[in-house]
Amino acid sequence: MALQLNLLHEEILEQRQRQRDPLKIGMLVLASCGAILFLYYAWNAYRTIEIKSRLNHITADWKKIEPEVTKAQKHSAELTNVINTTRVLDDYIDNRFFWGPLLERLSRCVPPNAQLTSLEGQVLDEEKGGGISVTIDGVAAAREPRSAAEDLRQMLLEQLGKTYHDVKVEFKTLEDVETVANLGGANVPMSRFILAITFNPSAKPKPGATPAPTRVKRKGNDESS
């Protein structure tokens, strides 16, 4: 076996020590990690720039659309307001009470031997239950003037019941007066009456409610009335 002499022992040892210098190795590791981290950062930065560019594009699109959208929203709000207001006004118009037909019915109910001297009608507040209240003052002349007034009351009940609901026609006053009226050349006594009429113009009849009362033909009524 050949003998080997290491004459550079110290130099080789120094070189080995330099090679395994922890600071140097650490710096190399740090530099490698730094490079990896930089690349990762660069990749992220690229993606962020790309996203920002997308945001700019979308912002530009939105700026183009926004005035139209605002206009459409404003127009929608106006239209909704118009629809709602028209609906409420239509309800108001439809829920009005028409006095013309009532006056026509009243005029048809009054017989020749009765005369109405005053009429006071009003639409009642919703808090008072709504409906219509009418007070009629008048006089009736016949051999039995109270029967003539009762005939008028029943006629009103029947005729108004055909159109309106919950009709009530009641005497507030019915009294004979001393004055006499000349009907067909004959003097007949008179009575004065006040009729209170209430009804509901729009309510639907309750299920099972009794039908509107019909006029009762009473025998023995004064024919002239």
Partner 1 sequence: MNLPKLSKDEIKKLALSAIGFVVLLYVYFTFFLGPLQKSRDTTLAQIGGLQKKIDGSKGEMAKAANLERQAKDATIRFAALKALTPDGAPIAWFPPRMKTFFANQQIDKAVARLESNTNFKQPELSSWSKYNWLIELPQADFAALGKSIADLENAEPLLEITKLNIHVMPNDSQFQQIGIAATTVIEKR
Smallest distance from partner 1 to CB 22, Å? 4
Contact between 87 and partner 1 by CB under 8 A: the answer reads yes
Q: Which is nearer to partner 1, 98 or 208 (CB)?
A: 98
For the chain, what is the total number of helices (H) and then of strands (E)?
Answer: 4, 4
State which of residues 12, 13, 29, 177 lies at the interface with partner 1 (CB under 8 A): 29
Q: Are 116 and 193 in contact (CB under 8 A)?
A: no
State which of residues 45, 186, 203, 216 lies at the interface with partner 1 (CB under 8 A): 45
d(CA 77, CA 42): 49
Contact between 118 and partner 1 by CB under 8 A: the answer reads yes
Contact between 23 and partner 1 by CB under 8 A: the answer reads yes
Contact between 88 and partner 1 by CB under 8 A: the answer reads yes
| Burial class of residue 110, CB neighbours in 10 A (0-12, 13-18, 19+) | middle
Contact window for partner 1 (CB under 8 A) among 38-46, 158-166, 189-197, 208-216: 38-46
Contact window for partner 1 (CB under 8 A) among 42-50, 146-154, 185-193, 203-211: 42-50
Number of residues engaging partner 1 in binding (CB under 8 A): 66
Among 198, 221, 196, which residue's Cα sits nearest to residue 138?
Answer: 196
